[in-house]
Amino acid sequence: MNTAEIIQQIRAAGLYPIPVEADAAPDEWSGLRFAGSLDEFFNAAKAMGATVVFLLIRKLEEEDFCHEPDASAEGALDGNEADANEAPIVEEISDLTATLPSLADFKKRIGEEYAYILAARGQMGVLSYVEAEDWWRSFNEQRDLAIGKLQEKCEAVREAAEERQLQKNESLFQQLPSLLDDPDFRNITTQRGMK
């Protein structure tokens, strides 16, 4: 399917297509998501009193092959510990094709339309429908797999950083008795004031 075909189908259903732009992914589109066929969506839209259908066309972009962790994501790529209660945050954008090379096969589709999101507003609210290409579903499954692998790697790095910090803390704790027995340490001005 392509844009011309979807617009033709909207018009054939007696509705007016209004192309719109938005950054929303198909799963983030607002309103109730229709669970039926495209023709059934058109019938439902008309039953709701809609005369227009908003059409958002999504295309595969280079950014779809990258992953930027959430600001709240935990991880430790640099090994620096800011606070024992707070894990460092991974701030770099990852190339998912490095994590899962099979994703690179989809790069030839950059610029191709992969989803058509239709939305109709009626008296009862917004009803949406997503028509996605089969290859997009396959890409999305592999992308999710790559993100999962990347998150596992980040978690392992974070756990290793926590373990290093625990070992460092334990080493410092074990040195404490020898410091208390050290006369030079006991004679430090701040230590005399604590006696």
pLDDT tens for 87-131 read 444 457 888 999 899 999 999 999 999 999 999 998 888 999 999
CB atoms under 10 Å from CB of 131, counted, come to: 16
Q: Which residue range is the domain that position 142 belongs to?
A: 3-194
Model confidence pLDDT, tens digit, residues 135-167: 999 999 999 999 999 888 888 888 888 889 888
Q: What angle do CA 95, 97, 69 make, to 5 degrees?
A: 35
Q: How many structural domains is the chain composed of?
A: 1
Return the DSSP state at 28.
Answer: G
- Note the pTM of the prediction, 2 decimals: 0.65
Q: Evaluate whether 148 touches 99 at the Cβ level (below 8 Å).
A: no
Instruction: State the SS3 of 125-192.
Output: EEEEEEEECHHHHHHHHHHHHHHHHHHHHHHHHHHHHHHHHHHHHHHHHHHHHHHHHCHHHHCCHHHH
What gap in Å lies between CA 26 and CA 5, rounded to an integer?
19
